[in-house]
Structure 1
């Protein structure tokens, strides 16, 4: 983790180009020492938009390249303001920036996700981490806070840009294998070539394992290619290709009582009663109507069998040394086959994204002025079906439960000015806007002995949102930088939100509004010496119509999403990097990241119903469920810089997550946890000749063998027959929420470069 906040226009232009082409090789976080930023290659102006004045962190390969690298969690664990939970599958990590995805059960939500500047978030706001094998990447950049001015729809809490490795840095072929507990085995290879005319990176991996929960074995393959070709001194083409196939069996989420009784769902193939802590799904025996039979996820054959393919092409043209124009097109297909509940969800999601933007550097009043402007258009069309699953094993499909066809498109424009109006000051202003169109028709089928009935629900929604922003940055000395920013953001509902009722069944929820936010950041960077970097940022964000989701149980078809009329997010993000004994222990470092995230409803009334009565309950002042209020990561690292043991290193890591509420009434909490991880690695020095090409590592995760909750989705409150809300003891039996984390695990790996 390296902390970054802001730079001069000239420095930012230079750094942006390096980020885009994967050329950033040293700290951009030391504003006090911007003259010492080291980059390679030419100093082209912006290719990846960086929100000047926005709190930003980077994690480079040095933070995750020496370990098992199972998922994106390994890439972001040291970044302040970023947390993660377990999603639906081995690499489906739910990544949150300031709590953006804490209320989701899968993917990266309320964020715009990029890879090498190409969009990885589809027009409906869906991005998934299955695509990401950390072995392919040089680093990740996280832009925190409302960011719709530059990133458009769904950038409610910011944006993330993943950077693949540069071919010229690889300079040959690398092959490696990771192996360890629960049958995990990952074979991967990376080919990298490059010179001043082109740069090519080709990566492929195949990872498989049995998982530590029953019915969680998996096999995932990933291919990733990036090619840059310099056509002329002023023109460049960048080609991007990503393909991922996920073949994963999937357990179902547990209630808190089930988790406590049997967190890993062992011995549950034929046991489905609550006393054993075994989860089950209720399946229609004839696949249409009538009698249901309870089956374990393993016996039913639940899982995810998905494919994702992304192809992108960008042309960059330099009009002159101060102006760059780039045009980009991306095709993204997501095809899913997901028997993850009593129904199987099947269908393709094809999306297209086109954008064009210009960055110009000029002088105004003798001071540097950077101007950025761009337009974008993305389009998604989909046709999906859901089928009842029958209790015959292998996720056997019965009759069709529903089908949905529709589209979503977003047309956006954005503009930003960054002016250094005085030697130690600069100001940033910007404005972005998006017009969104969502149109979909869902057909619901019901069956009886006399035949089939069908019902239609149509959604035709149009949204227009604006996002202004402003930032002021003051750098009084090389040791200090202060910044304040007012940012805004918005996110429309996705089509899937519009068709799930509070009961977790398919139906009409088409009244949903866009969520919007206004956020204020106030922060400082302090660099008292070359051995210490500290960044602290306080944030206060005001939300209108925040979109919050909750599960009605495992035997439902999906999570219900609602608008909370008003809510507030406030907190502190702190990052520290310190060499405590630079003379006595030059290879020793401490990395610390801490986030305090306090999110409350300020206006929301929830209606609960039973068979005879409905009652309203004010949630004003309640904590928003699913949000982890405190999380901390501390790493104590050592890498021997010289001598006989040069290249030998390792770390001890402590990760702490606080307990958090699971329901709107704040009656039930998911318990917190603290984990200890240990790692040792060896990168032989160049003086050892051919042995320098060999790398190995060994690590132990969850050393104390803690039983902990790796992911818990929000649950619905309910109304008892006496008109009172369900108690915490009752909510402990609410299913569809909890995945346990891994018990103690051992991993090792080797990598050789040719």
Structure 2
């Protein structure tokens, strides 16, 4: 879709929202400055504080409160972000998910890249850029922040997709005790317990969970335990420090990708090689971090340190035994003051994320280690500094300028190899400016626009060994134009954005061997789209009138994607594979003030999409129906949810390739019909 049409559509939406029907409201957006008190944390000010902070961003950002995903199975990251337009999250098996924001990381058939994950503002991704979802425990978080594209400047993130930050409660906003049981289809059973409390200046929060899952497909069973805790101490009303600990122990079998015909006719099938070699992805992690917040006049300062020890035990085509030791530090200042009588808000910070990866590979002999085939030591380094200033030329209009600088190193030493690994070192220096405008039309409605640049260094997984070594791969950069509006009213909400990203050196699949995509740089590509989210009260005061009436609420999240090559020498103007042109989530929910809710929902991908850059082979469109009932009070909550009630066979996720055939194993079937139920007690 041409840029003019994209921007024109959002302009029309903004004009419509400016009509007199939207002129009155009793709802106020939170004020800008977060003030700490005995019931909130300075380091982690809670959902309302996060919403206040993100309202200062002239671009697409969203806070997802736990009320949106806790009264549901909350098994994977899809359950958290699936109602966020522009975010495409489709599970493959277990916790593994294909995640893309605005088409980021489309060529990454395993793990995650181009979107940076954080836990309480501290990086989860490895120091060379990879991300995994097995360390995510969806039901453990107070809220989740989604920053699309360069709108993630708050954390110094600078990737095409942006960032997702998962935030745990503290002892100042958590129940003294909370227990939870979930169970349902395909042998899924999960138990979780948490506790939080404040004792004067000290507070603590701890949560642990255990799960088992037989899986919908053969050879897809998994189990695991996760533990997260934080301890806070407030020295006075202006200084607070917090210590974070996180541990994960995950064991997960891998069923493998299938051909399209097998995926749609025998979706429970596991690929024979995956069974023969007992392919798995097992992870043990330990993370320690500290963060201290100082409030000095109009300024808030955050400083912190962190370290991660991650062990990946991954028998696939070979037996991968990788040890990651990552460490880093960060500092950030926000000063909300005045210049010449005009409000001025300055955000500045620095980040360091370094590490060492001991990568060992062995022959996979029936799921056991055979002879050593590879031993390399990889040393990634990442240093960034950023600054963003918002100058309010009017009390409701801010002009925003920003700049970020990233210096990255990728160094590899080969100890032993039978597959052509080479020694090498590459450095990357990326400067990314940003300019934007933010208009508070009224206390409940904002309009924004920005132009920004993003850049990201490649990981060690790019390239093809000695033929195209990792150090010959260029950094991926993009210039993004964005315009949008968001607002919250008692009877309707909206979040509308149009964007266009012109990308250079996008990390994409240009060739393959043995079904594995080899990643290198494309020349020029374009990602553009519309992100439309809205909610509206269709009816209210049906059986329970008053100031808080019952109502029938329509909720819709719609994403329009247009990703393509731009005059490529090999693929011309072909569409980029790996993401649907349209994706819709919608529900009609009856909501009663007592806490009861009930209603149907759909997940709809109305179009097929390509799985190869040559545009020869596609997936299949699908429509899934669901139904959910929940009851939520201050003391307990319960839910029952049915998913894929028509038991449709469909393609949930794909691996992409340069040229596909009917025999290409690229397809992950989605789960069949299932019913889940859960109970939560809060004291």
Which position in structure 1 is the counterpart of 2:526? 568
Deviation string 1:608-636 (CA, Å, 9 cap, x unpaired) is xxxxxxxxxx3121011112221111121
DSSP-derived class of the 2:229 partner:
strand
Q: Displacement, 1:233?
A: 2.6
1:403–1:443 CA contact under 8 A, matched in 2 = yes
CA distance in 2, matches of 1:10, 1:211: 43
Aligned counterpart for 2:44 among listed residues 14, 17, 21: 21
The match for 1:309 is: 286
Q: What's the CA shift for 1:682? A: 2.1
Instruction: Tell me, yes or no, if structure 1 residue 747 matches structure 2 residue 679.
Output: no
Q: 2: CA distance between counterparts of 1:456 and 1:701? A: 46
> 2:297 — aligned with what?
321
Residue 25 of structure 1, CA deviation: 4.4
Number of equivalences: 647
Q: Is the 8 A contact 1:551 1:714 kept in 2?
A: no
Does structure 2 retain, via aligned residues, the 8 Å contact 1:591–1:636? Answer: yes
User: Which position in structure 2 is the counterpart of 1:625?
Assistant: 577
- Coordinate RMSD, CA, aligned: 2.7
Cα deviation code 1:384-431 (max 9, x no counterpart) = 1111112xx3x0222222222120101111111111111231111110
Tell whether 2:173 aligns with 1:173.
Answer: no
What secondary structure sits across from 1:257 in the alignment?
helix
Q: 1:52 to 1:93 in 2, by over 3 A?
A: same
Matched, 1:404 2:404: no
Report deviation, 1:550.
7.1
Show the counterpart of 1:680: 629
Q: Distance in 1 between matches of 2:41 and 2:266?
A: 49
Return the offset for 1:190. 0.9
- What is the Cα deviation at residue 97 of structure 1? 1.5
Match of 1:300 in 2: 277
Matches within 5 A, 1:361-510: 361-390=336-365, 393=366, 395-442=367-414, 445-446=417-418, 455-478=420-443, 480-500=445-465, 508-510=469-471
Unaligned runs of 5+ in 2: 1-27, 543-548
Which residue number in structure 2 is paired with residue 534 of structure 1? 494
Matches within 5 A, 1:526-675: 529-549=489-509, 552=512, 558-584=516-542, 586-605=550-569, 618-641=570-593, 646-657=594-605, 658-675=607-624
From the superposition, tell whether residues 544 and 12 of structure 1 become closer, same or farther in structure 2 (CA, over 3 Å).
farther
Corresponding residue to 1:715 among 645, 657, 660: 657
- The 1:708/1:19 distance shift into structure 2, 3 A limit, reads farther
In the alignment, is the contact (CA less than 8 A) between 1:443 and 1:457 conserved in 2?
A: no
Q: Deviations over 1:688-723 (max 9, x none)?
A: xxxx73432211111110111111010232xxxxxx
- TM-score normalised by length of structure 1: 0.81
TM-aligned CA deviation for residue 260 of structure 1: 3.4
Aligned residue for 1:236? 240
SS across alignment from 1:496: coil
1:515 is aligned to 2:504 = no
Distance 1:19 1:705 in 2: 48
The verdict on how the C-alpha distance between 1:445 and 1:463 changes in structure 2, with shifts beyond 3 A counting, is closer
Q: Distance in 2 between matches of 1:15 and 1:156?
A: 33
Per the alignment, do residues 559 and 51 of structure 1 end up closer, same or farther by CA in structure 2, a change over 3 Å counting? farther
Contact persistence 2:175–2:682 (CA under 8 A): no
Output the CA distance in 2 between the equivalents of 1:518 and 1:195: 49
State the match for 2:16 in structure 1. none
Q: Distance in 1 between matches of 2:204 and 2:225?
A: 20
Q: C-alpha separation between the residues in 2 aligned to 1:153 and 1:54? A: 14
Following TM superposition, by how much is the alpha carbon of 1:186 offset from its aligned partner in structure 2, in angstroms?
0.5
2:272 corresponds to: 280
- Aligned-partner SS, 1:475: strand
* TM superposition shift of 1:330: 0.9
**Counterpart Cα distance in 1 of 2:322 and 2:50:** 43
Q: CA deviation at 1:171?
A: 2.5
Quick one: distance in 1 between partners of 2:32 and 2:518? 42
Report the CA distance shift for 1:632/1:455 in structure 2 as closer, same or farther (over 3 A).
closer
- Counterpart of 1:733 (choices 639, 663, 675) is 663
- Equivalent residue of 1:191, what SS? strand
1:335 CA displacement? 0.8
In 2, the alpha carbon distance for the partners of 1:479 and 1:751 equals: 33
Aligned to 2:250: 246
Distance apart, 1:166 and its partner CA: 3.6
